[in-house]
Chain A
Amino acid sequence: MSPTTEDLRTAIADELATLEPMTDVVGRARVAGRRRLRRRRTFRAGASAAAVAVVAGLGYAAVDNDPPAAPDVATDATARSPRPPADPRRTTAEEAVARAMASPRITEQAWLDAFAATWEALLPRRFGGVTLTREPGSAPLLRTVSGAPRLDSWLTIGGYEGPRADQPGTSGCAGLRQVAAEADFRWDVTDCVDGTIAGELDYLADREFTVGGNQSDNPGRGRHGAGVLVVGDNFFLEWGVQAVGPDAEVGLTADEMATMLEDPLFLHLAEVGTRYFAERPDEPSIVRQVDPTWPLS
């Protein structure tokens, strides 16, 4: 004898029947939505002004306009925005990734080297490269050398399930194994503004001010950030950037973010990251050891 799903529905209905209705938040949502729209318009206006400055010859490239595909990159099925291999920054990134992947176990240093080298190659040139920063209580961040504002960036990869089931979203050996075995892993950018869900993966980029992990519409109290979330079967990858300093908005457009993430360099970095996060020693807040298998291998 065992409770059925109908019993479950009944029990949920009974509990929800005791739930007081929520207060009306439609008005607050409209106000917050209008504020967000105003911010976007302001940001776009600023971006347009920056583009005019570029045309005037101030020496900054708003986006990386490298020429199209080299043949060896074009054969990569994942390449949507291939670039030529001649750029020494790309060569450095590819070598850092190759070194990490060749090692029996990817160390934190090898992961950060690959992360930094890949960011050096992918970020628009106006950011002038990256340096590693460590803040108390925080994972290592890559901070851009220049840019207005400078950016902090991080990358997190994990699974949804596993022994540490009380930490959904940041742990899970079984989840990583499952995604490695089953997922049709691919990049699929559908919408980098509002996060329309793709067939297999959610690929999102949203921008917000964050204060202590919560959204805020008060720019004076928070740091502006942008994030991209990739969710597959029991797998997630989160790339975030935050403006360094208050009252500054991340000067990285959704198109630029999409271009970076569509690049095969980023996919290779994600492969390194999947192995690294899977192999790293057991830590209370992160994943445990698993047998890593990258979906594309």
Chain B
Amino acid sequence: MLGRTGHGADDARDDFTVFAGAAQQRLFRQAYLLCGDRAAAEDLVQTTLTAMYVAWPRIEDPAPYARRTMLREHWRTARRRDREQALHRLGDGAGPDRDPARTLTVVEALGTLPARMRAVVVLRYWEDLSVEQTAALLGTSTGNVKSSASRGLAKLRDALGDSFAERVSVVPTSQEEAP
């Protein structure tokens, strides 16, 4: 946790720049995994940092606050985007096309998961948070996190198929969580 100042409104935000400068690339990588799109990820980081700037004097521990804010902003944006896409689909009756023969990247495969499940997978298997930490961050139960993580991994395997095994070393499954 950064040392915090307790002065006036502008002084109290001086160390925001220090935190944001140090954290933005890490936040960007997390945002990219959540969004699957570079431009959207940059927007998400800026939105997150803007919200943190406003709330900065009241933030006690910036790192988890940034994670929470980013997830919140991501879900809000995702819902709007989904509504707009649904309206567009109503209009032209078609969804996004993808060549079925082309190999998905892991980030693209993450994009096939529902937003909350994707967040669980990213937090558990990229951010390396525990089940309890992930549950606390998402405001849900540990059972729900385990279930979402397990189903998310299964969906990723389905989405990636053999291409995933070809790109990484493959060993027998022995340590994954039960739902």
Contacts and interface: CB of A to CB of B under 8 A. Distances in A.
Interface of A: 1-5, 7-12, 14-16, 19, 21-26, 28-30, 32-34, 36-37, 40, 137, 160-161, 165-170, 172, 182, 193-195, 197-202, 204, 206, 213, 215, 227, 229, 231-234, 236, 238, 284-285
Chain B binding surface, main DSSP class: helix
Contact of A8 (B115, B118, B125, B144): B125
Contacts of A10: 168-169
A201 B72 CA distance: 12
B53 A33 contact: yes
Nearest to B42: A22
B50 A29 contact: yes
Nearest to A35: B50
Contact of B42 (A11, A23, A30): A23
A3 B169 CA distance: 8
Contacts of B32: 16, 19
Contacts of B157: 2-3
Contacts of A37: 9, 54
Contact of B106 (A11, A19, A234): A11
Contacts of B165: 1-3
A197 B73 CA distance: 13
B50 A170 contact: no
Interface string B103-124: 0011100001111111000001
Nearest to A7: B168
Contacts of B17: 26, 30
Chain B: number of interface residues, binned into ranges = 35 or more
Interface string B1-17: 00000000100010011
Nearest to B172: A1
B20 A26 contact: yes
A12 B122 CA distance: 10
Interface in B129-156: 137, 139-141, 144, 153, 156
Nearest to A27: B17
Contact of A213 (B75, B81, B164): B81
A171 to B, nearest CB: 8
A279 B11 CA distance: 53
Interface in B67-89: 68-69, 72, 75-76, 78-87, 89
The 5 closest A-B pairs by CB, nearest first: A33-B53, A285-B86, A29-B49, A168-B114, A169-B79
B80 to A, nearest CB: 4
Interface of B: 9, 13, 16-17, 20-21, 24-25, 28-29, 32-33, 38, 41-42, 45-47, 49-55, 58, 68-69, 72, 75-76, 78-87, 89-90, 95, 105-107, 112-118, 124-126, 128, 137, 139-141, 144, 153, 156-157, 160, 164-165, 167-176
B47 to A, nearest CB: 6
A194 B58 contact: yes
Given A7-B164, A160-B116, A170-B86, 16 more contacts: A1-B172, A4-B176, A10-B169, A11-B168, A22-B25, A23-B42, A25-B45, A26-B17, A160-B114, A161-B117, A165-B113, A165-B114, A200-B139, A229-B75, A229-B76, A233-B144
Contacts of B90: 284-285
Given A7-B169, A9-B125, A197-B139, A33 B54 contact: yes
Contact of A4 (B52, B55, B78, B173): B173
Nearest to A21: B25
Contacts of A137: 87
A231 B139 contact: yes
A166 B86 CA distance: 10
Nearest to B83: A170
Contact of A3 (B82, B124, B164, B175): B164
Contacts of B156: 8
Given A22-B41, A167-B82, A204 B72 contact: yes
A28 B170 contact: no
